[in-house]
Amino acid sequence: MTAKPVRVRFAPSPTGHLHLGGARTALYNYLLAKKTGGKFILRIEDTDQKRYVEGAEQEIIDGLRWLGITYDEGPDIGGPFGPYRQTERREIYQTHAKSLVDKGAAYPCFCSAERLEKVRQEQQKRKETPHYDGICRNIAPEEAARRIAAGEKHVIRLRMPQEGTTTAHDHIRGDITVDNKNFDDAILVKTDGLPTYHFAAMVDDHEMQITHVFRGVEWLSTFPLHVNMVRAFGWEEPVWIHLSIFLKPTGKGKMSKREATDALKDGHSIFVKDLKDLGFIPEGVNNWYALMGWGVAEDEVMALDQMAQRFSIDHLTPSPAAINFQKLDHFNGTHIRLLPTAELARRLKPYFRADGLAVDDDTLLKITPLIRERLVTLDDCLAFGAFFFKETVQPTREDLIAKDLDAAQSAAIARRAYQILEAQPDISHARSEAPMRAYVEETGLSPNQVFGIIRVAVTGQKVSPPLFESMEVIGREKVLERLKKAAEILEN
């Protein structure tokens, strides 16, 4: 294995949203670079102009930034091995294609699309697997050069081995051996002069001195081809790791578009941007998908730096993992609770703001520890804490009536609570809890019944953060006013 400094790359095509699979590939790259003191590169593979999606590159960059998966070199920050967009590297591919042609490892092919289609149909008729028949393999170099100079349209094909076998080694899957008979002479450069994905990726990995290639298992079928390409150049191969796909929650097959939409309705998603919008935090999201395929203890709670310390390519598993959104909730809530109060408050603020609430930092800092325990996502703060920023609350008569009591009895409790609290010099948690608990004893009712009425009266809702702490934040004047109003609602 190589003793060179680790250089790894995430090489997405800008063809859609950044999803979990891509994010995990990026993360593993990042972790290996961090662990070994290597470099992590973002490379945009945009040679397939038909599939190009406007804005996709920016979404990838924004998504990685949000996740905290920072790279050392990339299209937006530059670096010593740039450019980092393949469409800006045309000459590099041309030069390398020419060097292969010059040494006879590749050749120009002048076959028209019509001819290839005819060959294909004839092969099908003969029940053969369609393949390039290699007619241009034998064109003399001088003749080929003359036709190219005359402007004849052509592609560049790799002269693939036709006998024997090719063995490619994947670090987590072992050796993969294929019969060379099965290979086609792969196209390296298309008629428009742009490289194919296969060629561009191999050239770039070499040029950028990539030591480890993490990529999706969908590239496994073309892996032996890639290895042949690298070998045709005589280059050193990187360590190859093909990561498994994620399966849908049932574990059967990939998530479909429709299932992805259903997940979204349920407050979950496989797209990074959605997860952010849904109120998940990067710490929770990273921890969740990092462990899918990692192969170590399943529920370990880790921040990025802890993951980097623990990461090893030897632990990665080739078996596909099923997406489990309950685990996402679990990790997210756990990481929310690990955030320092001021940091969590800073992240909650925009959610309160977006709801039109006038947030003051003082109250925000006081309520953050009160609601923290209940948050699964950041936007849950509205359900548990919006009332803190409202001048008035609107409890319903129905909610104010405690279980097994009637309106008059509930009103009497609200009135008595008013008297007890009014008699206290302040409404601090320390002052109000003891007399209120004594009152519960006196009534012979359950704390749930009595405190339930008070909770609905002062917060306007049946579920809230701890009552006495909440009342302290709301303040004496408002608490008393709300208890009075509740009694009136119940008496009417």
Neighbours of 409 (CB within 10 A): 16
Of 148 and 220, CB closest to ligand GLU: 220
Task: Evaluate whether 278 touches 377 at the Cβ level (below 8 Å).
Answer: yes
x/- letters, 156..175, toward ligand GLU (CB under 6 A)? --------------------
To the query of whether residue 257 is one of the catalytic residues in this protein, the response is yes
Q: Residue 404 burial by CB count (10 A; 0-12/13-18/19+): exposed, middle or buried?
A: exposed
Tell me the sheet residues that pair with 34: none
x/- letters, 175..214, toward ligand GLU (CB under 6 A)? --------------------------x-------------
Site stretch for ligand GLU (CB under 6 A), options 9-17, 148-156, 170-178, 261-269: 9-17
Task: Evaluate whether 255 touches 248 at the Cβ level (below 8 Å).
Answer: yes
Give the HSE-up count for residue 56: Cα atoms under 13 Å, Cβ half-sphere. Answer: 18
Q: Where are the alpha helices (DSSP H) in 211-300?
A: 223-233, 257-265, 272-277, 282-290
Which residue is catalytic, options 50, 125, 127, 257? 257
Provide the total of helices (H) and of strands (E) in the chain, helices listed first: 21, 11
Min dist CB 216 to ligand GLU, Å, is 6
Of 201 and 457, CB closest to ligand GLU: 201
Min dist CB 201 to ligand GLU, Å, is 5
**Of the candidates 39, 45, 270, 482, which one interacts with ligand GLU according to CB under 6 A?**
45
Q: What DSSP element (H or E) covers 9?
A: strand 7-10
Residue type, 188: L
Of 43 and 159, CB closest to ligand GLU: 43
Site stretch for ligand GLU (CB under 6 A), options 10-18, 29-37, 243-251, 305-313: 10-18
The 3-state DSSP class for residue 222 equals coil
Task: Evaluate whether 259 touches 248 at the Cβ level (below 8 Å).
Answer: yes
Q: What is the Cα–Cα distance from 272 to 249, expressed in whole angstroms?
A: 17
Nearest to 238 by CA among 475, 7, 446, 15: 7
Reading the block at residue 478, the tokens are 């408002």
| Alpha carbon of residue 349 to chain centroid | 23
Min dist CB 206 to ligand GLU, Å, is 13
Question: Could you say whether residue 276 binds ligand GLU (CB under 6 A)?
Answer: no
x/- letters, 209..238, toward ligand GLU (CB under 6 A)? ------xx--x-------------------
**Of the candidates 6, 8, 11, 458, which one interacts with ligand GLU according to CB under 6 A?**
11
Of 45 and 283, CB closest to ligand GLU: 45
Here the contacts of 453-456 (C-beta below 8 Å, separation 24 or greater) are 453/400, 453/401, 453/402, 453/410, 453/413, 453/414, 453/417, 453/486, 454/413, 454/414, 454/417, 454/483, 456/395, 456/399, 456/400, 456/486
**Of the candidates 12, 38, 108, 238, which one interacts with ligand GLU according to CB under 6 A?**
12
Site stretch for ligand GLU (CB under 6 A), options 8-16, 145-153, 275-283, 335-343: 8-16
| Interacting residues with ligand GLU between 337 and 356 (CB under 6 A) | none
Of 27 and 382, CB closest to ligand GLU: 27
**Of the candidates 8, 13, 316, 393, which one interacts with ligand GLU according to CB under 6 A?**
13
Residue ranges binding ligand GLU (CB under 6 A): 11-13, 45, 201, 215-216, 219
User: Could you list the active site residues?
Assistant: 257
